[in-house]
Amino acid sequence: MSGFVFSEKPIRIERGEGTYLYDDSGTEYLDFGASYAVTPVGHCHPEVVSAAKDQLEELMFVQASYPNDARDACYSKLASVAPGDIENVWLCNSGTEANEAALKFARSATGRKKIVATQRAFHGRTMGSLAATWKQKYKKPFEPLAAGFETVPYGDGEALAEAVDEETAAVIVEPIQGEGGINAAPEGYLQAARETCDETGAALVFDEIQTGLGRTGEFWACEGEGVTPDILTSAKGLASGLPLGATLCKDWIAEDAGPHGSTFSGNPVVCAAAAATLDVLVEEDVPTHAAEMGEYLHEEIEAADLPIRDVRGRGLMTGIEVKRGSNRLLRDLALNHQVLALPAGRSVLRLLPPLVIDEEHVESVVGALAETMSASTES
């Protein structure tokens, strides 16, 4: 008996530690996918595990209308690392819920309906965030979706300016597109989006669910461009794999946000794990380490002279565009070299490792890539 939604891989994972996962036979796998960036400080980091265990023994759950120390600490730590003048936090269970909240808050705060998203974007799988997602394979089975959404080419500031008007509630953008192929916003694009929203009164939403928490070498990718949104969404590695999403808002959004809620908003155990994760990221300056390892990874890929079309990304968010399909390459890396990675479309290999990897891990992965690609070329 198995689930019917996910296509299960032929590897049964039993435990994780640091940058490694282990299957039921004890085989060790170097995890360079981190299950879509959900383990920024590594698997089962002792400080995160300890915080969650301690909280589990004190209070497993109480609804968000009752204050408690674990949730307050999570609120405070998230606000302290938020970019610019963002200070308000709403917690949920996933990235798509964080984006749903962002879109609802933008509509209620502005009194407008129109949402402008971008081509190749991925914002989640619930009905609102799915309407802002580009790829038809995710959308078509569930249509009709939420109304009022319009898409423009990613990275085109002029097209964005033409689409955004006084009826626009929000513009939602990924600073670097993940599922869309690891596409970084062109220089000046995020600033152009900021200026367009300022001119029209629309809310600027940055989806940092995959790019945040140090992944790109800054705590938030938007900080690398010097642009602060009105709303920022986070999830993935926020609680080191326990389910948590967050919608961070400027005051003008929070003050006029409509009624919204979630039964499990700010679960104390998950909040304790998140607070510990944030502590490790800040105290060990993990974003700086991610920037250094990302640069080393790109240097090693270039030096290996791999048969690829392109390598792109920032920090430890890397996309390798290959000449043949990525699925076979991913399978061979896992089964023959015990390296786990991810796809980003049919032709892009996506590397989103724990941010605590070292040079030896980078060299192992690039070596495995070289051997796998060489074997594929010969076959």
What's the rounded Cα separation, in Å, for the pair 319 and 363?
Answer: 17
**Is 149 marked within a binding site?**
no
- pLDDT bin (cut points 50, 70, 90) of residue 7 is confident
Per-residue pLDDT tens digits for 261-275: 999 999 999 999 999
The CA-to-CA distance between both ends of the chain, in Å, stands at 36
Looking at residue 109, its amino acid is A
Paired sense of beta strands 168-173 and 149-152, if any:
unpaired
Q: Check residue 339 and give its pLDDT.
A: 98
Is 0.75 topped by the overall pTM?
A: yes
Q: What is the rounded average pLDDT for all residues in the chain? A: 96
User: What was the pLDDT predicted at 308?
Assistant: 95
What residues act catalytically? 122, 207, 236
Over residues 193-198, the mean pLDDT reads 98
pLDDT given at position 376: 64
**262 carries a ligand binding annotation:** yes
> What's the pLDDT at 375?
79
Average pLDDT over residues 88-116: 98
- Structural domains in the chain, CATH included, are 48-284 (3.40.640.10)
pLDDT score, position 9: 86
Longest dimension (CA), the chain: 63
To the nearest 10 degrees (0 to 180), the angle between helices 69-81 and 268-283 is 40
63 is in an annotated binding site: no
User: For residue 377, is pLDDT > 90?
Assistant: no
Q: Does 263 appear as a known binding residue?
A: yes
Segment 282-311 shows an average pLDDT of: 97
DSSP string, 263-288: TTTT-HHHHHHHHHHHHHHHHTTHHH
Rounded CA separation 91/235 (Å): 10
pLDDT greater than 70 at residue 379: no
Query: Which contacts (CB < 8 Å, 24+ apart) does range 307-314 have?
Result: 307/373, 307/377, 308/373, 309/347, 312/182, 312/183, 312/184, 313/176, 313/182, 313/184, 313/216, 313/351, 314/176, 314/184, 314/216, 314/217, 314/221, 314/224
Dist. CA 64–CA 261, nearest whole Å: 9
Q: Which pLDDT score is estimated for 2?
A: 59
Structure tokens at 100: 């749903």
DSSP string, 288-341: HHHHHHHHHHHHHHHHHT-SEEEEEEETTEEEEEESS-HHHHHHHHHHHH-EE-
Checking if the pLDDT of 378 tops 70, the result is no
DSSP 5: S
